[in-house]
Amino acid sequence: MVGAGVMGTAVMKGLLDSKLVLPDQVWATARTQATCDKVSAKYGVRSALEFDPLVPDSGIVLIGVKPWQLEGVAARLLAAGVQPDTLLVSLVGGVTAARLDGMLRGIWVRTVPNTPCVVGHGMTAVCAGSLATTEHLELSRRIFEAVGLCEIVEETYINAITALSGSGPAYMYLVIEALVDGAVKVGLRRDMALRLATQTMLGAARMVQETGRHPASLKDDVTTPGGCTIEGLLTMEDHGIRSALARGVQEATRIVGLMGQPK
């Protein structure tokens, strides 16, 4: 794992917890020795700033760095002797498979995970680089199913997926925060309101996921004639909630397309 940050350690933890790998099969690196030491202590894996001797024997290298760090990482892996059959898994936002291949010719799989991977409920999309086979995609799926759900997609969808599920947790946190503020305004304690709002969002998501029904149909189940729910919904619609969320995804998609481009 090159880049043992929040996402990198979440994936690593999922792999270890699910016993897909053992601690002695894993190494990690980060920007500082202090972070490496913390990762080693917490997960029982080798973690150090100097990882070059470990590269030639690595069957899979996951890369979770910032876009601007990626060229340096690719050059270092090449100099360290990364093998032609090593699977290179990019967690880096916005960088296309073609650009990854231009930095380091190899078997690339491009992925878009999200932060709920930390609690085992992530959503990850994966797509193949030019040399990746169905077997490589299935191996990548196994990796990310250790931390949630995983879907194999075409790369043409990746920017929109990044804006939707990659950035999506932040949108949901904003909605939860706003609902809690509203509840506090009408007299609920903040801690109580937070518990109610989070469980309500979790339950509503489960209803969509497990029933297979359209959200509009499920919404109608709650919206009785002349009731408080329709009043709340219309007030939110008056203030553009639907358009704001949809336009947010649209604008985030545009920015993703700019993120991985050379400066």
Span 213-261, pLDDT tens digits: 999 999 999 999 999 999 999 999 999 999 999 999 999 999 998 887 7
pLDDT above 80 (res 262) = no
- Averaged pLDDT, 92-102: 94
- Averaged pLDDT, 52-71: 95
Specify the pTM: 0.92
At 263 the pLDDT is 66
Closest CA to 73 of 179, 2, 131: 2
Burial 195-209 (b: 16+ CB within 10 A, else e): eebeeeeeeeeeeee
Q: Which two tokens stand for residue 180?
A: 């809690």
Average model confidence (pLDDT) across the chain: 96
Span 23-38, pLDDT tens digits: 999 999 999 999 999 9
Q: Residue 125: which H helix or E strand, with range?
A: strand 122-128
At 260 the pLDDT is 73
Span 68-82, pLDDT tens digits: 999 999 999 999 999
At 261 the pLDDT is 77
Query: C-alpha 61: how far from its chain's center?
Result: 17
Closest CA to 89 of 147, 57, 136, 123: 136
Closest CA to 165 of 148, 143, 140: 148
At 54 the pLDDT is 96
Rounded CA-CA distance 248/127 in Å is: 24
At 150 the pLDDT is 98
Span 122-177, pLDDT tens digits: 999 999 999 999 999 999 999 999 999 999 999 999 999 999 999 999 999 999 99
pLDDT above 80 (res 87) = yes
Q: Residue 122: which H helix or E strand, with range?
A: strand 122-128
Residue-range domains of the chain with CATH = 6-157 (3.40.50.720), 168-259 (1.10.3730.10)
